Structure 1
Amino acid sequence: MVSGLVYGASGQRLDVYRPTTASEASPVVLLWHGRGPEERDVLAPLARAAASLGVVCFVPDWRPDAHDGGRTHLRESAIFVQRNAADFGGDTRRIALAGWSLGSKAAMAAALDPNALDGWRPQAVVGIAGGYTRPEPLTGRAPIDELTGAEESLPAIPIWLIHGTADPVVDIQQSRRLHAALQHRGWPTSLDEPDTDHAGVIMTEYDPESRRCRPSHTDHAVQAGSQTAHLLARAANITPRACQTVRRPS
């Protein structure tokens, strides 16, 4: 692991999780955290699990409480990964974008609006416990509305969704609704529904005292987090249209 790299002019930092062994360039995942400012550490368990599956995982801090909602930080992190992934053993031809909670909404914008990240779109997006009916930081629009208004000529990229059935923070119906809308548009998509909550889906649990998520070793979190890590690895290593339009129950 490489920790605390400054990735842009704003001075925000990121961590890089790399496979222990790799004989060739590895697929890449850029993973955005949720609403809490500068919480890249919260995603450490998930990032380690993804790296153990052969993925180079970049996890940046960003600040949703910034004057622009964090848009500058998100864009800077995407530029950094595009330009520097190869220096960490990553394959720049295989970059997936993923996000948890608020980060998931932002990641979805990158799939649905080519201008969200200055014309760059990842090869796939993984949405983890996201809500998609309210505005997100990159475009200021709701992903579900963006999809409805997207041009038919917009090339579809695979969208992988995962959402815990016991999530008390973001209703699972948010992911189900987006999944159905993607299916209606003919986009390659899948939805996984593990039996866990909002924190468990990233292999953590919420600590009320610190008001942060911390690593969890409970069965439901370990199983759900592992499921999410496998989605990240599959999304980063796929070829176009490899994601089937199916919904997989837990």
Structure 2
Amino acid sequence: MNVSVVSGLAFGPGGQRLDVYSPTDSLEARQPECPIVLLWHGRGPDERDVLAPLAMATAASGVVCVVPDWRPDAPDLGRTHLRESALFVQQHGGDFGGDVSRTTLAGWSLGGKTAVGAALDAAALDGWRPQAVVAIAGGYSSADPLTRQVAMDRLAGAGALAEPIPVHLVHGTADVLVDIERSRLLHAALRDRDWPCTLTELDGADHAGVVMTVYDPEARRCQATDAEHVLRAGHQTAQVIARAATSPSGP
């Protein structure tokens, strides 16, 4: 499926930028609106470009994919940017052929941890909730920047959680930055609280490989690659996201 990209759209009063990846075949054929994925990047400030390969692969599966910049180094740790990106999707997702009532929230690394935080806390995004969450290579034993809460602590406690929504976890078995055991423990904890949850383990993939990139130590950031094993892992991640978006009612 062909994909069109609208780059550098400003959102929110702060003027952060985002990119929208849309499956053009669906638009040209005037097919029903596509599900939407809001995809948050990790700890590096304003690194939406890192997720471009994954977003392209996801959109090629028939999903509108919105990838915003946000700044974890901001005074509020990026909370405002994250909330503004969710509001943009609610207000403008339909402009790109998306069905805003079928929105999945996905995130990688710190973005993945934050997406899980939003799943557990109904007030995290001003009362708006995605229909499913995909968390990629996240760690869940420290506070996320959106809710300032620790997912594992919340699940271990007796306090009330938000109404369950499906959570889909993806993690590479060769991740040395965030150990896969973090996702395994979260998966078990969610299951213990009767949340619908899946865990996809990508054999041999590292922290960058799960999003179709390799880490460049000189640039100190992840970069796109044509390495076959990395592309294979990233496409598996894209498939998990696309399945979650098109079937949000359960894992």
Secondary structure of 1:163's aligned partner: strand
Q: Equivalent of 1:112, from 104, 107, 120?
A: 120
Q: Kindly state the Cα deviation for residue 189 of structure 1 after the two structures are TM-superposed.
A: 0.7
Secondary structure of 2:104's aligned partner: strand
Report the equivalent of 2:238.
229
Report the equivalent of 2:214.
205
Q: Kindly state the Cα deviation for residue 220 of structure 1 after the two structures are TM-superposed.
A: 2.2
Q: How far apart, CA to CA, are the structure 2 residues paired with 1:94 and 1:203?
A: 25
Q: TM-score, normalised by structure 2?
A: 0.94
Q: Equivalent of 2:247, from 238, 241, 245?
A: 238
Secondary structure of 2:23's aligned partner: coil
1:217 counterpart = 2:226: yes
Q: Equivalent of 1:61, from 54, 60, 69?
A: 69
Contact 2:119 2:162 in 1 (8 A): no
Q: Cα RMSD (Å) of the superposition? A: 1.2
1:11 counterpart = 2:20: no
Change beyond 3 A, Cα 1:83–1:148: farther
Q: Kindly state the Cα deviation for residue 147 of structure 1 after the two structures are TM-superposed.
A: 2.7
Q: Kindly state the Cα deviation for residue 146 of structure 1 after the two structures are TM-superposed.
A: 2.4
Q: Kindly state the Cα deviation for residue 151 of structure 1 after the two structures are TM-superposed.
A: 4.9
Stretch deviating more after TM superposition (181-190 or 41-50): 181-190
Consecutive unaligned residues of structure 2, counting only runs of 5 or more, are none
Q: Render the CA deviation track for 1:17-36: whole Å, top value 9, x for unaligned.
A: 00121122000000000000
After superposition, where does 1:85-124 map in structure 2 within 5 Å?
Answer: 85-124=93-132
Contact 1:85 1:91 in 2 (8 A): yes
Moved over 2 A (4+): 146-154
Q: Kindly state the Cα deviation for residue 153 of structure 1 after the two structures are TM-superposed.
A: 6.9
Q: How far apart, CA to CA, are the structure 2 residues paired with 1:62 and 1:38?
A: 5
Q: How far apart, CA to CA, are the structure 1 residues paired with 2:216 and 2:161?
A: 45
Change beyond 3 A, Cα 1:236–1:76: same
Consecutive unaligned residues of structure 1, counting only runs of 5 or more, are 244-250
Secondary structure of 2:188's aligned partner: helix
1:173 counterpart = 2:181: yes
Change beyond 3 A, Cα 1:32–1:150: farther
Change beyond 3 A, Cα 1:118–1:148: farther
- The number of residue pairs the alignment matches comes to 242
